[in-house]
Structure 1
Amino acid sequence: MNAGSQRRLNWLVWLTLAGTLFTTVVMLVGAWTRLVDAGLGCPDWPGCYGKLLVPDSEHAYLHHPDAPLDPFKASMEMFHRYLATLLGIVVLLVVRLGWSQRRQAAYPWRLSLVLLVAVIIQGAFGAYTVTLKLWPQVVTLHLLGGMCVLALFLWLHLRLRRLRRTHDAPRRQPTPWWGMAAGLLVLQLALGGWVSSNYAGIACQGMPTCNGEWWPSMDVSEGFHLTQTVGPNYLHGQLHADARTAIHMGHRLGGLLLGVALIMLWWRTRLAPGMAGPMRLVVALFAIQCLIGAANVLMWLPLWLALVHTAGAIALSMGLLWAWWQWRYACVDIKSKRGCAEVLKLQMS
């Protein structure tokens, strides 16, 4: 690798790290925008009442007489949009800098293109979130899309860091335990988004029981009716109490299944070189996230704590992704008397 390529690679390593951190900020700002009911602060897209900046009340009324202007909510919504636009520019810079590196052996060019496509799709979800008036299906997909962009940024950063070390190490093969944990994590993220988009966070009062019962009255078919028609406005939700209770209980049960899967994964990987620390971190993050979730219910969902719960979901997701990275490569990055094959044989015996 010549000096110019090495310099561009160094820039890409730092740029993808900045992109990872900035994506986290954009997601948290988006979560706060939703929590303060500013998701429809601007009733149109991409502008706000037809303007690139928040207009005055008179202009807003002339443009959208059915949607009175709330300056704070409109400013919050536009702030989130501008941050998302900057994130898109960061992705374009990553692709631009990587163009000259695309023929280099082991350079993750395809992953860079996947990241670009994911950001474009995420932008479309952002537009539909507004134009479809917070339709829960789109809001949930928007959340999952943000997690996808974040995961791609982190994975690309790790790939580029490894490429900078000028070697491509062998990998451990995946096991069904990793697939199960990852699948349940995605399911739990989707359930969390469904709880949030249907305003079911306090549908259950009390913990660990729900409304004084272990198995309360629920309307599962209505709560998880994914093909419902697009209504005029989903701000504050449209489902009745039993449907929201079903959604909330589904999120709790999903968390229980995820916890069992993560503990089993920790048990199966604890002897592998380099895995004790990452998996302990994942289990600890999950335990903290459970405590935050319980506190949200017991404290009637204070906004700041709901935001912390979102941050916990991000931390848990990135922790599991980092643990998976360690599983792939730690056996060659960390000196050990036992090779990966021997460790795996010991685990499966």
Structure 2
Amino acid sequence: MMRDDTLRRELRPVLWLSLAGAGFCALVVMAGAATRLMDAGLGCPDWPGCYGAPLVPDAEGALAHSPGVPLEATKAWMEMMHRYLAAALIAMALLLMALGRRLRQRWTGYPWRPTLGLLALLMVQGAFGAFTVTFKLWPQVVTLHLLGGLSVMVLFLWLHLRLRRLASGAPAVMRPRRLTLLWQVTLLALVLQLALGGWTSSNYAGIACQGFPTCNGQWAAPMDWGEGFHLTQAVGPNYLHGQLHAEARSAIQVGHRLGAALLLTCLLALAWRHSRDRAMRPWLALAVGSGLAQAALGIANVLLWLPLWLALMHTAGAALLVICLSLAIWHWRWPSMVVAPHVGREEWVHV
């Protein structure tokens, strides 16, 4: 008992820090979405500074640094605030690593590799942040940057769950349950849909199809699938407001809708498959509920012509869906403490 109390006390700072990191990362993702939706992604023409300065300069300083890029102060500050928030996230990961370095020597099973992986992923994510500016909002980089941000959020959450499991006294030797084919397909559908959402956003195809469920009043509207999903677009043009023609953007929008239908089908299939599992029922209900809410937000964005507040809610809905499905996967893979009736004592079993 004394050992368990000591373990919980020593793990408390990293438990709270990892949970705060997951929440803060969701905020950074939202800030990135707001930056893009306000056309502020190129508010600063360079990286990591803004017109060569750590803070947004005045118009005279900006003109001296980049004569061909006039300063728009609001957009520049929006972009720099996003960078400052991302830097704070890296500081949190560094602090987690500093605290974990001592704890891993004291406690068997401390999740040290996920801690290092988190910091490495944040470094990669920072590089993509730089590429977003230097490649002038190239859709491939913008999409990967979004996926990277959500991946960092999941890794913070996963680290927190691993730490909670360690603090609970769970045996370190227990292996997690393997994901079945249906879980794997659902996870793949989620990643695909997130990528389609990023591709839709980075190519400014959010309202390429007016109306729902039809596209521009037609069930079979003209669409250019080859151009819409041409993944080797040239690097060099400024992709602010997009470079694709209308039919290519319509194809992207319809592809995003089809991806949503596939993901919802997978989520409903999972909920039906595990409907008799009382331990999984609430987590899958959260995943299905967040998926349905996200679909409703997507439809509302199309019908209301993508207002800023609603587009931000759609991004928040994507983050919530990722969290809910991650929690469902965690509770499927790892056991919970229950009382084993055949021996009348607590055991770690799969439920």
> After TM superposition, is the score higher than 0.5?
yes
Q: Show CA shifts across 1:306-329 (max 9, x none).
A: 000000000001000001111123
Give the one of 280, 285, 294 matched to 1:280: 285
Percent identical residues? 56
Q: Matches of 1:176 and 1:2 in 2, distance apart?
A: 37
What's the offset of the Cα at 1:178?
0.7
Give the one of 24, 27, 50 matched to 2:26: 24
The within-5 A match list for 1:1-349 is: 1=3, 6-103=8-105, 104-168=107-171, 171-330=176-335, 332-334=336-338
Q: Show CA shifts across 1:69-93 (max 9, x none).
A: 0010001111110010000000000
Q: 1:340 to 1:106 in 2, by over 3 A?
A: closer
Q: Matches of 2:328 and 2:275 in 1, distance apart?
A: 11
Q: Matches of 2:98 and 2:84 in 1, distance apart?
A: 21
CA RMSD of aligned residues (A): 2.0
Q: Matches of 1:15 and 1:340 in 2, distance apart?
A: 27
**One-letter amino acid of the structure 2 residue matched with residue 161 of structure 1:** R
Please tell me whether the aligned partners of residues 274 and 334 of structure 1 are also in contact (alpha carbons under 8 angstroms): no
Q: Show CA shifts across 1:42-89 (max 9, x none).
A: 000000000001101011111111111001000111111001000000
> What are the ranges of 5 or more consecutive residues in structure 2 without an aligned counterpart?
none
Please tell me whether the aligned partners of residues 272 and 340 of structure 1 are also in contact (alpha carbons under 8 angstroms): no
1:115 alignment partner, SS class: helix
**One-letter amino acid of the structure 2 residue matched with residue 195 of structure 1:** T
Please tell me whether the aligned partners of residues 273 and 336 of structure 1 are also in contact (alpha carbons under 8 angstroms): no
Please tell me whether the aligned partners of residues 202 and 301 of structure 1 are also in contact (alpha carbons under 8 angstroms): yes
Report what 1:347 is aligned to.
Answer: none
Moved more, 223-232 or 290-299: 223-232
Please tell me whether the aligned partners of residues 107 and 160 of structure 1 are also in contact (alpha carbons under 8 angstroms): yes
What's the offset of the Cα at 1:334?
4.6
What's the offset of the Cα at 1:166?
1.5
Q: Matches of 2:57 and 2:222 in 1, distance apart?
A: 46
Q: Show CA shifts across 1:191-231 (max 9, x none).
A: 00000000000000000111111221111111111111113
**One-letter amino acid of the structure 1 residue matched with residue 195 of structure 2:** A
Moved more, 319-328 or 135-144: 319-328
1:101 alignment partner, SS class: helix
Q: 1:30 to 1:211 in 2, by over 3 A?
A: same
Q: 1:301 to 1:336 in 2, by over 3 A?
A: farther
> What are the ranges of 5 or more consecutive residues in structure 1 without an aligned counterpart?
344-349
Q: Matches of 1:5 and 1:245 in 2, distance apart?
A: 55
**One-letter amino acid of the structure 2 residue matched with residue 129 of structure 1:** T
**One-letter amino acid of the structure 1 residue matched with residue 40 of structure 2:** A
What TM-score results when the alignment is normalised by the length of structure 1? 0.94
Q: 1:264 to 1:336 in 2, by over 3 A?
A: farther
Q: 1:336 to 1:179 in 2, by over 3 A?
A: farther
**One-letter amino acid of the structure 1 residue matched with residue 81 of structure 2:** F
Q: Matches of 1:173 and 1:47 in 2, distance apart?
A: 45
What's the offset of the Cα at 1:6?
4.6
Q: 1:287 to 1:335 in 2, by over 3 A?
A: farther
Q: Matches of 1:215 and 1:2 in 2, distance apart?
A: 63
Q: Matches of 1:255 and 1:261 in 2, distance apart?
A: 10
Q: Matches of 2:129 and 2:219 in 1, distance apart?
A: 37
What's the offset of the Cα at 1:107?
1.0
